[in-house]
Amino acid sequence: MNTSRRILLTGLAGLAVAPTAVAAAVPLPAPLGVTVAEERFARTIAAAHAPDINCARRAERYANAHWPEYVAAARAVLDARV
């Protein structure tokens, strides 16, 4: 596959993903029963697992969108320290 086809396919894939990326940028409501410490630690874990860790803004956006997925991991670590 030549370079121009790759660029075209990448651009089309970006257009297909763009609506979901905008929806992911909207912060989700906080799950019930999450403490401030759990939320902050979940955001830290999510930022560390961001696809592009080299870009601070992208890692922060990823953390804002996906931190509820990491609450269980944050709780496990915080409970292990007690």
**Which pLDDT value is given to residue 7?**
54
**Residue 11's pLDDT band (cuts 50, 70, 90):** low
| Of 60 and 52, more confident | 60
pLDDT at 60 over 70: yes
pLDDT at 30 over 60: no
**Which pLDDT value is given to residue 20?**
47
Tally the domains of the chain: 1
pTM: 0.57
Domain carrying residue 77: 3-81
Q: Which residues of 41-74 are buried (b: 16+ CB within 10 A; e: fewer)?
A: bbbebbbeebeeeeeeeebebbbbbbbbebbeeb
